[in-house]
Chain A
Amino acid sequence: MKRIVVTVAEDGTVSAETLGMSGSTCLDYIAVLEDLLMAQTVHSEYTREAAAQTTRQEQHDAH
């Protein structure tokens, strides 16, 4: 199941994490979140889960 976890801090800043999505879908949801939140992304990074998946995919591709 694809999920988005949004945390709204007491100072009004927002952090969000997408779970279980492919890379291109992740990027699509950045725009969705910016629109929903009337916000601008100031930082983004792939998570360890994403890095692990990418590494697994690279290892798979090498074989």
Chain B
Amino acid sequence: MSVSLILLPLAIAAAAAHAGLTKGKDATVCEVQTRMRDEGLLAAALRDTRAAVTPDGDALVADWAGVRARFVRDERQVWSAHFTGDVDEPRAVDIVRAVDAAYGRQVQAAVLERLTHRAPAAGLRLESRSVTPDRAVRLVFAVERAG
């Protein structure tokens, strides 16, 4: 018998991203909710998009040319971004999409690292590893004993 599963790493929230825009007197402020949870992976993803990243208390501040985003966590530990500077809603959403894609690659790398490191202790022997055309990584494990 076999079963297929879809698993969501805890670093990813199930909520879909969405954006809302308000215009203040001095700046355009765009709030974009994300599916991201892990602070370290988010900081790495921001750097992947060539942002200068600065911790600010519980927040992360990312600076691109003319655009600043302040990432803060909600009660579900999901990050939302607060944009200021030379930015409108479409650009803010584009930036978050780029960060989200980079975040996904960071999660992929973290999951693969954790899986390959911890699988032997669970009685799983890696038989093969391959990359699919859509850049997914496929690992085949032989079950050698109960974990």
Contact = CB atoms under 8 A, between A and B. Distances in A.
Interface of A: 1-23, 26-30, 32-47, 49-50, 53-54
Contacts, number: 160
A19 B134 CA distance: 23
Main secondary structure of the interface of A (DSSP, over half): mixed
Nearest to B125: A3
B8 A46 contact: no
B80 to A, nearest CB: 18
A15 B5 contact: yes
Interface of B: 1-12, 14, 101, 103-108, 111-112, 114-115, 118-119, 122, 124, 127, 132, 134-143, 146-147
A12 B3 contact: no
B147 A32 contact: yes
Given A5-B138, A6-B138, A7-B132, A12 B5 contact: no
The residue among B3, B127, B143, B147 with the most chain A CB atoms within 10 A of its own CB is B3
13 contacts: A3-B140, A3-B143, A7-B139, A8-B112, A8-B136, A12-B106, A18-B4, A26-B3, A36-B114, A36-B122, A37-B9, A46-B3, A50-B1
